[in-house]
Amino acid sequence: MARLALKLREENFVPDAIIAHPGWGETLLLPDVWPGVPIGLYCEFFYSSDGADVGFDPEFPPTSEPLANSGRLRLKNVNQLLAMEDATRGISPTQWQRSLYPARLQPTIDVVHDGIDTNLLAPKPQVTMRLNDRLLTRNDEIITFVNRNLEPYRGYHVFMRALPELLRRRPSARVLIVGGDGTSYGAAPPTGKTWRNIFLDEVRDRIDLSRVHFVGKLGYPDFVQLLQLSRVHVYLTYPFVLSWSLLEAMSIECAIVASRTSPVQEVITDGEHGLLADFFDTEGLVEKVCRLLDDPALRARLGGQARDRVRREYDLATRCLPRQLEWVNSLIRG
């Protein structure tokens, strides 16, 4: 990064401001290339051995080897801490993400979400979607679940373990599961296996596979259609970075059942914008999904209030982008 910046400087380029994600050290030498140029950092996640993702799931405990856990996390934070010594301001998408940073640094970090296009992400009562040889509409009882990649960090294992009872109680329901077989967060599955098949195999003989559809990764228009089609959307996450997909589902007025974890609780108040269940409580998850499926008025109320909140607090055009631009301009003004 520094060598590339030097080439730019030789061409008489001097930036008004530098904005970067500090996780891999890109900005560390830039103050030596352009002394005095303000630096803004995207403060996405500060690792901790307590109160966040590490150690949250007892099924996947951190190693007990001395320093293997705490030392690894400390080293993952080194680049950020060094970068922030030379930074002018930071920006985090949520209050919870800012709260993970050391208390002395939090006053230097502003909270502005990346923003949701609520005009594009809106309900569409007449939506249809073709699934194999079947045309799905809003008249079908569709339950949706979305991960970038299907893995424990986003609760895939919990959702799969809830399916036998959920499908038993909802004989007409179809479950649409979005996500790939790679690894986005956390540990990779054992060699030669995928998290998708590991937890599918665990329940395979207790579910009707003709009603469970793994649709893989979708193009964005198809992803939007799927959420517009959803009767109940399930979102689960460790205490980790909040997925855009939750706010996108809220913008589309999905009736949502989500995990009662810190990042989710910042955007969903239980009983107001959706229903919350303990991350590990499969019985509670099934109960709340069935409650929403049985109550159209509750689905409409929660979905409407969810969209109202996203439009009011997270809309890209009217809320987040103006604040982002002001944040950039404030860097330039110093």
Model confidence pLDDT, tens digit, residues 4-42: 999 999 999 999 999 999 988 999 999 999 999 999 999
Q: How many helices (H) and strands (E) does the chain have?
A: 12, 12
Confidence of residue 133 (pLDDT cuts 50, 70, 90): confident
**pLDDT band at residue 157 under the 50/70/90 scheme:** very high
Residue written as token pair 């998408």: 93
Ordered strands of the 18-20 beta sheet: 18-20, 39-42, 89-92, 109-111
Q: Yes or no: is domain 2-115+317-333 CATH 3.40.50.2000?
A: yes
DSSP state for residue 238 in the 8-state scheme = -
Per CATH, the number for 129-313 is 3.40.50.2000
Q: Which residue has the tokens 């109320």?
A: 301
Encoded tokens for 327? 């944040």
What are the C-alpha distances in Å from 167 to residues 80, 141, 283?
45, 11, 13
Average pLDDT over residues 113-134: 95
Q: Name the nearest CA neighbour of 28 among 79, 68, 62.
A: 79
- pLDDT of 295: 98
Comma-separated ranges of CATH 3.40.50.2000 domains in the chain: 2-115+317-333, 129-313
Tell me the C-alpha to C-alpha distance, in Å, between residue 111 and each of 60, 90, 99, 198, 255.
31, 9, 10, 38, 27
